[in-house]
Structure 1
């Protein structure tokens, strides 16, 4: 392809074959370059932000990705109808699909990515490792061959030595991956990995590797053009992971020496040259005991690319478009900058305390910090949008840059502390705890960090329960003030004392008692009012746990409460989520239930005789039959949500009385999956 002066000269129109924050990011960059943008969307995404940002948009099918975002024919038809000259696949979906790249070429549309041959070379982990082995790149000991017989694979695992790691050959993102600690667990782990791999990639082949116990995950961002030029853009440390999926990423890697950076970078560029790569790619390594091993190459842009942009000052999406247009890379390796430090946190809709189960719901409140120095927010959703069970549950990426790692870390902590989200559970508080953990602060974490420190990371730290309860009570007072003001405005006597919120009662003390549930505890809080306090000013007092303290507060423009409680001053945010009150305080989120004395707070029946779905999803395996006796901890049923499998276990020795769903059925959160009848062990 001939070199052009600008991407605009070739691409009058660009179609983005993706969704979410990456689609929004590509749209903004393309429009800044003067390129007309085209979005595609599923029926579930009709009101999505990427649809609203694009110049035009085309619906390509129902919510399920297999019927929309993975439909090559419909995407190419949208390109034909819109006149798009190029297609950017983002990451995920069709980004690493060689057949899609070939179909684009056949349709006369430029695929913004590597050639199909490069995608195929690295698309199979087994074949990629064989290629790297021939190129003398260090590999983790393991089996990467074509033989997939279960007994054969079990024997290979025995030869390698437990623990081993089963990985989907065609996979990525932690899908189709299982750690096996002992031989007796191998069969079930293999079956689960294969199911997940087939659901995610349409390919159930696996490879087996020695499981390194304390490795770091370090990857190198590379770029190559059609003129034979190649560079690496430094490294990223992505060691903080849950379920083999990245949670925190940073660049540069803590403790990385210039010599090791150059060695790993040269190895990554050589790997790209070996397959005649084009565009953006990431070569991933496992590092342990100062030795690095090739893991895989992702032939696409990565979720964590903003940290590389932050330390290099480059726009990687713009680079992708220009390289696809036939331009040469604008700088050489010697000109690649490395300035400061950047850290990214992935904000997900998930329940960290329930093994990071994906969550769904309407984002009734979503507020990000605005115009904060060194802070960048990449998001594909706004307040009022819905997190559905069909796609990745990422809400946003929060990226902080600083001259030093400490400065970047401080900015990221402050940025996360300022986020307010309600409507579905998130990992926001978990991220704050991880960033404040002494191991992460020192830069000494490995891929086992979250599992090893779960006790500290998954439970909130609580030093001032009184501050949490006071914030909840003051928020409730404000709600009452708004409601009484509304009632007074529509009343024939708006000045009636019944419409005051200063705690006035006929022949009673001027106080307002409130009751909250907090976990297993019931907490009583009483707000008392002095003369002229009006429920907000001086003279207020709060009584809880038998102790009374003076309290005053102001509501800030952002909605948070600036509170003075005794001699302590602090800021807290409180959001409603049904009858629950979410209190945001110093990076933690506390969930309290407001017990309204005027409401009927009926208790639900004990569901001990049933097994319910912990999240919405699809049944991928039913491992028992009606009438079968099962033992505590036995696997009963497997659900898939967001392409990740979740195995549900028997809570006690039981007999299966009834099965309510079959493989392939879609289920809602909380629905009864099967009925159990307790039996003696």
Structure 2
């Protein structure tokens, strides 16, 4: 096993990785910005290094500062968490070039799946279903219009290098496409340094379902079930659950087989997620993208399958076999994750501030992965995620009931937060029935 690990991230995911590292006897090193010096992940690490000011470009995305921290602390490996540098192939390659262990997939796999058009083409070649769309970038507006005419409206206009629900727009007709194409292209150039745009068929009523994969040290790729991620605002997830209430055993077998083929197509190692769109009317699903990292929502898979995915990541990186039998993975019960964000519960606009009260719920089937405690300041420099409230039950009904109780018992005062939204969602007839789609939040508003 790796003996010392630098966690190149912050907040709840850094704290969560550190927790597993310490359980395994691995020395945990945190890096932090000046703004995060008092957060729990810094305090709980065995050693911590300040890598720069609040601006992420000067701290959490500062490759040389992070590598210098690894060198000065004698860290053997680097875990990037999610966001920041987690899907940066150059960083992964540099880490390995410096003689360190990279806890993630190889740089070639990150590169292959980082461009949505390339990823679509690779998946199609591997026999993974893809939605009708362009096989090369729509280089100008005329090309985009021609592609959309062939595909059929409505279409999704997407930044080829995008991720996390950013750089996407729906065009219902040519007039809308002419407006949205330029917006998406400009956004992609500004945010990702790549203005490439793809055009893809848009499905008005669709569910977002993803599969957790793990590429093992021996070369095998295994799938650890699916997660339902259809409760979203601005194409970004708020709730995830496993198993999906929309997926039958027959459909699940097809989902998992396709996800394994996707991983095998790029020689995938370590943890990753194959994201898909599911048309509930036809039971057809289409590849959306592959996230070459640990997902925010990984705890629901951990709780249903009884594994620690961070531990499995470390074992793969160290060349060790998994703790579980890949041929005998058995899900048990139901898990739901709620992303507790510092944001207005109606408009979902960020609301930073000082945390005056922070009381986490407890009880059977309740887990809280948090990044803050009372007295901490939620700054405007980073993602608004405060904590992940994860509940389990013998079935979905019990999980929902426990989630209601846990939300009522979660006390946060100071920054705005979306706990009131979850209290509303968990009594919403559409959600409770399990028959919902990615438009559910819009219909609630």
Give me the TM-score of the superposition, normalised by structure 1: 0.64
CA contact (8 A) 1:95 1:300 kept: yes
In structure 2, distance between residues paired with 1:212 and 1:176 = 17
Cα displacement (A) at 1:382? 0.8
1:373 matches 2:364: yes
State which of 342, 359, 367 in structure 1 corresponds to 2:351.
359
Look up the match of 2:289: 296
Secondary structure in 1 matching 2:210: strand
In structure 1, distance between residues paired with 2:329 and 2:131 = 30
In structure 1, distance between residues paired with 2:83 and 2:195 = 18
CA contact (8 A) 2:128 2:261 kept: no
Cα displacement (A) at 1:14? 0.3
Secondary structure in 2 matching 1:335: coil
State which of 300, 323, 326 in structure 2 corresponds to 1:307.
300
In structure 2, distance between residues paired with 1:21 and 1:154 = 43
Cα displacement (A) at 1:123? 0.8
Cα displacement (A) at 1:323? 0.6
Secondary structure in 2 matching 1:223: strand
The size of the alignment, in residue pairs, is 443
State which of 175, 188, 211 in structure 2 corresponds to 1:220.
211
Cα displacement (A) at 1:153? 1.9
State which of 396, 412, 415 in structure 2 corresponds to 1:405.
396
Q: Which runs of 4+ in 1 moved over 6 A?
A: none
Shift in alpha-carbon separation, 1:46–1:249, aligned structure 2, 3 A? same
CA contact (8 A) 1:176 1:195 kept: no
Look up the match of 1:108: 99
1:485-504 equivalences under 5 Å are: none
State which of 332, 355, 370 in structure 2 corresponds to 1:339.
332
CA contact (8 A) 1:144 1:208 kept: no
CA contact (8 A) 1:229 1:329 kept: no
Shift in alpha-carbon separation, 1:358–1:193, aligned structure 2, 3 A? farther
1:34 matches 2:34: no
Instruction: Give deviations 1:44-78, integer Å, cap 9, x for gaps.
Output: 11112211111111111111111111111111111
Instruction: Give deviations 1:616-642, integer Å, cap 9, x for gaps.
Output: xxxxxxxxxxxxxxxxxxxxxxxxxxx
In structure 2, distance between residues paired with 1:369 and 1:331 = 30
Q: Which has the higher contact order (CA 8 A, sep 6+)?
A: 2
1:433 matches 2:424: yes
Look up the match of 1:482: none
In structure 2, distance between residues paired with 1:188 and 1:358 = 27
53-62 or 159-168, larger mean C-alpha shift: 159-168
1:319 matches 2:307: no
Cα displacement (A) at 1:147? 4.2
Cα displacement (A) at 1:425? 1.5
CA contact (8 A) 1:224 1:329 kept: no
Shift in alpha-carbon separation, 1:420–1:196, aligned structure 2, 3 A? farther
CA contact (8 A) 2:219 2:269 kept: no
**Which protein is bigger by CA-based radius of gyration?**
1
Cα displacement (A) at 1:20? 0.9
Secondary structure in 1 matching 2:52: coil
In structure 2, distance between residues paired with 1:119 and 1:237 = 24
CA contact (8 A) 2:251 2:283 kept: no
In structure 2, distance between residues paired with 1:166 and 1:220 = 24
Secondary structure in 1 matching 2:129: coil
Question: CA RMSD, aligned part only?
Answer: 1.4
In structure 2, distance between residues paired with 1:327 and 1:200 = 37
Shift in alpha-carbon separation, 1:223–1:191, aligned structure 2, 3 A? same
| Structure 2 residues without counterparts, runs of 5 or longer | none
In structure 1, distance between residues paired with 2:403 and 2:192 = 34
In structure 2, distance between residues paired with 1:46 and 1:333 = 40
In structure 2, distance between residues paired with 1:44 and 1:409 = 36
Cα displacement (A) at 1:206? 2.1
Secondary structure in 2 matching 1:213: coil
323-332 or 130-139, larger mean C-alpha shift: 323-332
Cα displacement (A) at 1:353? 2.1
1:240 matches 2:231: yes
In structure 1, distance between residues paired with 2:165 and 2:127 = 26
Instruction: Give deviations 1:2-25, integer Å, cap 9, x for gaps.
Output: xxxxx2xxx221000000100000
1:129-208 equivalences under 5 Å are: 129-208=120-199
Instruction: Give deviations 1:96-142, integer Å, cap 9, x for gaps.
Output: 11100100011101110001111111111110001011122211111
Instruction: Give deviations 1:377-427, integer Å, cap 9, x for gaps.
Output: 011111111111111001111000000111000001110011111212111
